[in-house]
Structure 1
Amino acid sequence: MHSFRKAVEAGDAAAIEALLADNVVFTSPVAFKPYPGKAITAAIIRGVLRVFEDFHYVREITDSNGLDHALVFEAKIDGKQLTGCDFIHVDADGKIDDLMVMIRPLSGANALAAAMSAQFARIQQEATEQIQREAAGA
């Protein structure tokens, strides 16, 4: 999943979105319910790119079939250091169809929750606009 890692580390939202399957499901470390769909997942990732500071991956683990990946990262939010992991599954076409993020410690997860809560109206608007553009183009 080196292409995802490279795109995230570069802050390249368009490249990240290109790696997502249309039916991707994003499971947040701070929300109870998963978010299905490319538009909302891409918008959430853009929001995360806006709030993380000093983001970098420290480890990449891939299973033997190459479909499941774990990318361990470190970042700061509002000065709070956190460690997290992106758990990624890719489909037969190599697109990300499942992305689950875990964060520790609790103070880091709480800082992320607060920062993303402040972003969420914008995230929802971006996702809605993308869905409308895609529907108009269909």
Structure 2
Amino acid sequence: MTERISRINPDGLHPTPGYHHITVVEAGRTAHLAGQCPLDGSGTLVGPGDLDAQIDQVAANALAALAAVGAEPAHVVRSVIYVVDDGTAPLGAAWRRLTGSVIGPAFTTASTLLGVARLGFAGQLVEVDLTAALPD
């Protein structure tokens, strides 16, 4: 299935730290995951104030959501990462932890990393929004 997905970095665009500027998916089904939050199975926020712990929970949740539709991180064709940024520069650290996580291959595709003032749950520091091209 991943042969239906091609990732491109065109000449003339800046080098990237692992993602691709363009992801092309040949015809097929897609899954649009809701933003994955650092909540455990009971809905409790994991790791208040701890970006690494929250990223680990988000990665685990995203892996479970992908598996529920028969997909893996390599099937992800678009990602948007939201990190609460208070000026302490957590964006690069979040990127490195996510790309080194169990869902790391998801971030070799077209990706956007955003610093935001606040997310949906009190104490939430990170959220990941993924779109996957589903296997046949």
Q: Same fold (TM over 0.5)?
A: no
TM-score interval for Structure 1 and Structure 2 normalised by the shorter chain: under 0.3
TM-score, structure 1 as length reference: 0.23
Of structures 1 and 2, the one with the larger relative CO (CA 8 A, separation 6+) is 2
More helix by share: 1
TM-score, structure 2 as length reference: 0.24
